[in-house]
Amino acid sequence: MSLFRAFWRVIKRNWLSVLIYLGISFGIAMIFIASGVTGEGAMSISSKSLKNVTVGIVTEQDSDLGANLKSYIKKSFNTGGVSEISASGNDIKEALYSGATSYIVVINGDEISDYQAPNNTSAYIAQNYINNYINTYRAMAQLYPDSSAGEWAKLTERNLNDTVRIEDLSVAKTDTSSLNNFFNIFVYGVLGALISGIGVAMIALNERKFYLRTVVSPVSIRRRNAALFSAQASFGAFIWLVSVAASIYFAGDARFSPVHIMFIVNSIPFVLSVTAIGFFIGQTVRNETVFNGVTTVLMLCISFLSGAFIPQEFLADSVLKISALTPAYWFIVNNNKIGAMEDYDWGALAGPIIVMLVFTAALILAGTVVTFLKTRTKIPLLKPREAA
């Protein structure tokens, strides 16, 4: 029996464990999307008011522009939707991640900067709304240099009231937060389903009788490894197809849009890299208990450190430096780029994709070397029975 067919026979006998990981992954994605961890209720904002949008304000140094901007925000948003936040970086991250606010304006004299929850349409609308005010205010200051700050503020509000309509902003961008969430949680499902499936198959294929029969066969090490990785890659393709089918459900209005296609294409090198991880572990770990332990630790650590469950914006720099050593980190970096794109720039995705492919090649090479070293070890033969 070929290695390819033997691999799939083992997978078919253990299909339930694979489906469990995928089911958990899809369930978590549904919970994240329903609860709006990173982008809830994007289209629930009223087109006639911004009362549902929460805005935080950080004042490092006040100014005429800052004072007038705060006044305008408080008139445009309901009082409960505006909160003063300390300038501490931790307080800002906590306010965004906890959902206390989706958009924060930082006033430092005449310099205005901002922070926003990732992939949140409410934050996007607030950003456009406030940027319009700032740009108009500065234009009025240049047009009427002899007027006071109070007069510039009145002219700005009058101009915005005459020309700006929130309805235009509410449809300015297709909501992709559900897709972004799904493909980030995709990390956990693919890691669990692929590595556990490959592990079960490799443990069965590494049983002594089957292993020795394979080693003494005339097939070269290179061809054996090629057959093994081909079988594992076909299993990865199956997991990928199931996940892509599920993404159609989560895509909403973005279904089959250029953004959806970019998410799908970005997932291909990630699935290849996870397959390579499974290939490497399968070649180095032969004990079932050890394999299960390594798989569980690896799956959870990579998922948490890479930003699958907690957005990368809220992870410490030291954590991100460690997670950059995994392909999942680069996969999520690209996911976040796609979710924030205004124009569909495929070139922006090239760097992380190349990194994932390098991971894949390095792990396949390492697994091949391990196999070569192990098969070079002499197999002890039974001594012939001595004649009586």
pLDDT digits (tens, 9 = 90+) for 269-296: 999 999 999 888 887 877 777 877 888 8
Q: Say what the pLDDT of residue 378 is.
A: 47
Q: Tell me, yes or no, whether 386 lies in a domain.
A: no
224, 214 in Cβ contact below 8 A? yes
Last residue within a domain, chosen from 123, 154, 170: 170
Do residues 90 and 222 both lie within one domain?
Answer: no
Q: Tell me, yes or no, whether 43 lies in a domain.
A: no
Under the banding of pLDDT at 50, 70 and 90, the label for residue 164 is very low
Q: Which two tokens stand for residue 180?
A: 């972004």
Q: Tell me, yes or no, whether 381 lies in a domain.
A: no
Contact partners, residue 171, CB within 8 Å, separation at least 6:
none
Q: Tell me, yes or no, whether 49 lies in a domain.
A: no
Task: Identify the three-state secondary structure at position 82.
Answer: strand
Do residues 142 and 266 both lie within one domain?
Answer: no
180, 262 in Cβ contact below 8 A? no
Question: What average pLDDT does this structure show over 78-88?
Answer: 58
Do residues 104 and 182 both lie within one domain?
Answer: no
Share of the chain above pLDDT 90, in %: 11
Do residues 164 and 313 both lie within one domain?
Answer: no
Give the side-chain half-sphere CA count within 13 A for 118. 24
Do residues 335 and 218 both lie within one domain?
Answer: yes
**What is the Cα–Cα distance from 265 to 259, expressed in whole angstroms?**
10
Question: What average pLDDT does this structure show over 34-53?
Answer: 45
Last residue within a domain, chosen from 170, 189, 214: 170
Do residues 253 and 372 both lie within one domain?
Answer: yes
Do residues 95 and 188 both lie within one domain?
Answer: no
pTM for the predicted model, two decimal places: 0.62
Do residues 261 and 337 both lie within one domain?
Answer: yes
**What is the Cα–Cα distance from 237 to 293, expressed in whole angstroms?**
25
Q: Which two tokens stand for residue 265?
A: 């294409």
Do residues 191 and 64 both lie within one domain?
Answer: no
Under the banding of pLDDT at 50, 70 and 90, the label for residue 45 is very low
Give the side-chain half-sphere CA count within 13 A for 190. 35
**What is the Cα–Cα distance from 54 to 81, expressed in whole angstroms?**
4
Q: What is the pLDDT of residues 199-255, one digit of tens each?
A: 778 777 766 665 555 555 555 667 777 777 888 889 989 989 988 988 888 787 778
Under the banding of pLDDT at 50, 70 and 90, the label for residue 26 is confident
Enclosing domain of residue 166: 55-170
Task: Look up residue 42 and give its amino acid.
Answer: A
**What is the Cα–Cα distance from 136 to 278, expressed in whole angstroms?**
56
Average pLDDT over the chain, rounded to an integer: 77
Do residues 59 and 203 both lie within one domain?
Answer: no
Domain count along the chain: 2
Share of the chain above pLDDT 70, in %: 77
Question: What average pLDDT does this structure show over 95-103?
Answer: 74
**For 85-99, 153-167, 175-189, which range has the lowest pLDDT when averaged over its residues?**
153-167
Last residue within a domain, chosen from 138, 170, 202: 170
Do residues 106 and 76 both lie within one domain?
Answer: yes
Q: Say what the pLDDT of residue 264 is.
A: 93
Q: What is the pLDDT of residues 141-160, one digit of tens each?
A: 888 888 888 888 888 887 77
Question: What average pLDDT does this structure show over 23-46?
Answer: 55
Q: Say what the pLDDT of residue 39 is.
A: 37
Q: Which two tokens stand for residue 132?
A: 């319009």
Kindly tell me if the per-residue pLDDT of 182 is higher than 90: no
**For 158-167, 168-177, 331-340, which range has the lowest pLDDT when averaged over its residues?**
168-177
Q: Say what the pLDDT of residue 334 is.
A: 92
Residue 353: how many other CB atoms lie within 10 Å: 18
Q: What is the pLDDT of residues 111-136, one digit of tens each?
A: 888 888 776 667 777 788 788 888 88
Q: Which two tokens stand for residue 370?
A: 């391990």
Q: Tell me, yes or no, whether 333 lies in a domain.
A: yes
Do residues 219 and 346 both lie within one domain?
Answer: yes
